[in-house]
Amino acid sequence: MIPDRAFRIPQQPQPGGKTERRIEAAIEFSQSLYRILSSDPKDAPATDALVDDIKKHVNKLHECEQKHKYLPGVAGDPEIDAQAVRLWNLCTRLRREASEVERLRRLFLYGRVLAFHLLAVVRPPKKGASGEVVYLLRLALKAARDCIDGSESELATPILMKAAEYKGTLQDLAPSLVEEDVDEANCLEVEYFIVRTALSWKENRIDVAEHMYTKAERLRNFLTPDYAERLADILYEIGKSLSAKEDFTIATKWLERADETINRQSLESLSREGIELRLAILQALVTALLETGSRKDLERAKNHVDYIEAEVGNKLVVSLLRLELLQKTPAEVFDSDTYGNVLRHMIKDFNFTEPGFRLIIYHIRKLHDKSPGVGCAVLDDFILALAKAENDTWMEKAIITRMWMISNQRDTLSTIDAVRSVLSNLAKPLSAEAAIAAQALTWKKLESNYTLGQYDLAESWCQLSLHTAFRSCGPSNTSKLERKLLLCALARNSLEVAVSIIEKMSQQSWKEPMTAYLAFKVAIRIEDRALAERSLETVSSAPDHIDYLGACIAESQKAGDIFCAIAALKKLHEKYEYKSPNPIHLPALFRCTIRLLNLLVDRSDADKNRIIHELCEEFDAVVLALQRQKRESEAETLFNVDELEWFSRNAYNLALKNTTTWDLRHVVKMLTACVNIVSYISSDVGSQVDLSLKSLFSRFVISSALVSLARTQDKVEKQRRDYLAVRAHVMEFDQELPGHLPNFEKVLKNDMLRKHAALLAFDFEAAVSLGQLEDLGSIVQRAALCRNVTAYQAMADCLLRGRVPGQVLYSTMRKIINEIWNLESFDAVKLAKYTRCLFQATLPLDDGLGIKLLDEACSKARELRESEGHWPEEELQWMAATAFNHAIDCYSSHETERAKEWATKAINLSHYCDDEGGLERILQDKYLQLRFDVDAR
């Protein structure tokens, strides 16, 4: 290398001083450029600016070349020559190394062009120096080719002008040249015309290109293998570029010229690059022939392919050309089997590279377009081959392609099974991204078949999508597919399959409300209550459970499974019964449940007592909701008047209808709910008489039932609760009745009074049982309005049976007897009976009360005799005899005064007997036999 130093420029006066300054500036710039490129060209500041500067100096040098053939002081200068050579070599090396950085490649190209022009200036052609001219011509042609390849036609033109000058010089020197130099000159001349052809083609001057090629054609016999390769390469590039522009007819012509040029040389004389170029030319030629669409060209292409195969064997390039040939055959005669066999050969020789993978996949897709079945079969073979590659990316792309293929052809169970068989050979599941992409393709087919009612196919697609290869899709996708599989089984009414699917479902699937809803549909069809309950529990736990529970109710009713419908309704109760605001209409929910429960009551397969209990609980829930509504006065009113009347009417009717068949406690609960609901109906609503009657009669039945239950109750605490409830209902009846009596007709009024009397008798019984004796007198008084002897009789019987103190017994019974006495329907027999019973009950407790009763009996008997009535004989005789016996007892106890009093009272009562004084005389005789005087002494 010549060391860098300032260039020596001759100082003597020379013509063209301005030219010398241009040369000097170019030389200095080349030195500076060399220093920049010698360090790190990537750090070169503003490469575009450098390129512009180079272009300016190149233009100046070209002007000098045109004006001056020889520049004294510059021509032949070794330092300038060396600098130009160094710059050429440096740019050549850097351009080769920077093949991927376009901006640097352009800079290095311009650097070489600058170096060439410096050499052109420093080395003017000399007589006899043919070697120097050949060298410069070679550089010129090489630089021009690089400019053409780099789309720098403007830069190539002046170089070719200089090359034309060198070519002319060689022609002038031809007589003095030896044979080898003549051949070299001819080769360079051919190359010159070919480069000019390429430049004309780049400049889109086809006529000039054709003219230049014609000139080169005359000299092609002089081409050596090296120059033939260069010429063929240029012709190949022209043909290839024309093919890229889809001008296949013209491209064919230029490619055939390239093929003819390189085939003129023997294979032994071609370089390795030349042999590869020869194959590339043939391949491009076959492609161009195939694209012309001509049957003749198709045949020519086939011949070329046969020739290539015969020469190089069944290599990859031959296989590709075969595939192209087959693609261009008409669709009606397309040989898919041959195409597939070619691809299988390529798969067998697969070199496990990315380009090779993409190439095979591309052609498999092409085959699938024309023959889906064969295309799928070949891809299956390729997938099996890829299992050896351990390249997950290739495998996933191939699987996705396979799924795309099957999703774009006619569905059959066999085609789906084929894919499932291929997937079974995978060593591990696909990645999440690939699995989701594959499932997205299958889901479309699944949905399409399901919509068309082709459930067998849809189920098969589901099974394919659930393959373990797609496990990475995640639990949500799995749940969605399992649900679709369940839908297919339901649609086919294959309940055994549906149950099997449910049993195999993952926990994640069960958490989905839609899955639980489908399981519920299966449960009601197979009458599996446990599965139905589990499904409802899952559905009710979901955020959007209202719609699903509504769907479960509808399914239950559709299937006639009232039990499941009620269970679903109860889940809604649990969620929304007392919430505000409420997303559902609570009264409607109650009504639906009540109607369904009512349907179950009379069914033979139902647990009747449980159903009746649930029915009562439902009405109680209505009452509870009304109470909550009343407490939360600001809340929106849920129950309107019509709804309240509906609930009260149904509770009332159900209770009355089943009074004799239901357990009395259920009747009580139902009617209690009825009266509670009626209490929430506004007083200004019409039909108050009906509502009042409903409430009054309900309380009457409730009290009657509770009394009946209390009488048979073994447990004291429960009995007390029943009697307390009786008293509460009677009190309510007492408070309600007076306000409504004026509105009742006479018959109805009398009926209500009779019921009131009966209730008061129940109240009296309850008070006695509860020990609330202080209320007995008031109960008797309240019964006066009813004027009902039966009620008083019941009270009297109850009083006599009860264990009450004597004073209470006496005072209360006296009131009862007085009330009976005052009634128009007085019956002396009954009065005497009650008096005798009272006497019998009070005598052991308090004989003072007995004396009073004897006096009252005498008084009543006297009144009856005066009114031509009579006290029953047996009653008078019994009381008189009992009283006298009590006197004897007192006499025996030495209670003389009391004995006299009792004996006297007994004789007085016997006076009213109708036995013509028989009893009276007997008692008097016995009295006289008593020795009261002796005892007194």
Residues 551 and 513 sit within 8 Å (Cβ to Cβ): no
**CA 300/CA 4 separation, integer angstroms:** 60
Q: Of the ranges 177-191, 325-339, 683-697, which one carries the lowest mean pLDDT score?
A: 683-697
**CA 883/CA 889 separation, integer angstroms:** 10
Which residues make Cβ contacts (< 8 Å) with residue 825, sequence separation at least 6? 789
pLDDT tens-digit map of 724-761: 999 999 999 888 888 778 878 888 888 888 999 999 99
Q: What is the CA radius of gyration of the chain?
A: 63
**CA 90/CA 546 separation, integer angstroms:** 82
pLDDT reported for residue 762 = 92
pLDDT reported for residue 767 = 92
Closest CA to 80 of 154, 25, 160: 25
Which residue, chain included where needed, has tokens 């529990």?
537
pLDDT of 599 over the 50 cut: yes
End-to-end CA distance of the chain: 182
Which residue, chain included where needed, has tokens 């990645």?
431
pLDDT reported for residue 763 = 93
pLDDT reported for residue 4 = 37
**CA 464/CA 467 separation, integer angstroms:** 5
**CA 704/CA 733 separation, integer angstroms:** 13
Please compute the mean of the pLDDT values over residues 714-721 and round it to a whole number: 91
**CA 313/CA 319 separation, integer angstroms:** 10
Please compute the mean of the pLDDT values over residues 513-539 and round it to a whole number: 84
pLDDT reported for residue 669 = 94
pLDDT of 916 over the 90 cut: no
Residues 566 and 549 sit within 8 Å (Cβ to Cβ): no
What 3-state DSSP class applies to 77? coil
pLDDT tens-digit map of 666-706: 999 999 999 999 888 876 555 566 788 888 899 999 999 99
At 117, which amino acid appears?
H
pLDDT reported for residue 583 = 64
- Dihedrals phi, psi of 31, to nearest 5 degrees: -65, -45
List the structure tokens of 288.
Answer: 């161009």
**CA 102/CA 77 separation, integer angstroms:** 34
Q: How far is CA 762 from CA 403, 603, 668, 708, in A?
A: 85, 36, 15, 10
Given pLDDT bands bounded at 50, 70 and 90, which one contains residue 309?
confident
Please compute the mean of the pLDDT values over residues 768-789 and round it to a whole number: 89
Q: How far is CA 101 from CA 43, 56, 107, in A?
A: 13, 23, 10
**CA 156/CA 144 separation, integer angstroms:** 5
Closest CA to 209 of 298, 290, 148, 162: 148
Please compute the mean of the pLDDT values over residues 219-229 and round it to a whole number: 77
pLDDT reported for residue 35 = 82
**CA 435/CA 176 separation, integer angstroms:** 78
Residues 811 and 763 sit within 8 Å (Cβ to Cβ): no
pLDDT tens-digit map of 844-896: 777 787 888 788 888 888 887 777 677 788 888 898 889 889 888 888 888 88
Q: Of the ranges 19-28, 458-467, 617-626, which one carries the lowest mean pLDDT score?
A: 19-28
Please compute the mean of the pLDDT values over residues 816-828 and round it to a whole number: 72
Given pLDDT bands bounded at 50, 70 and 90, which one contains residue 7?
very low
pLDDT reported for residue 934 = 55
**Mean per-residue pLDDT of the chain:** 81
Closest CA to 480 of 455, 506, 499, 503: 506
Q: What share of the chain is helix, strand, coil (3-state, %, to 5)?
A: 80, 0, 20
pLDDT tens-digit map of 370-425: 888 888 888 888 888 888 777 888 888 888 888 888 888 787 888 888 888 888 87
Long-range contacts of 3-7 (CB under 8 A, 24+ apart): 4/31, 4/34, 4/35, 4/83, 5/79, 7/31, 7/77, 7/79, 7/80, 7/83
List the structure tokens of 800.
Answer: 């006599």
pLDDT reported for residue 69 = 58
pLDDT reported for residue 9 = 36
The H or E element containing residue 203 is none
**CA 671/CA 652 separation, integer angstroms:** 6
Q: What is the tally of helices (H) and strands (E) in the chain?
A: 43, 0
pLDDT reported for residue 604 = 63
Which residue, chain included where needed, has tokens 């522009």?
245
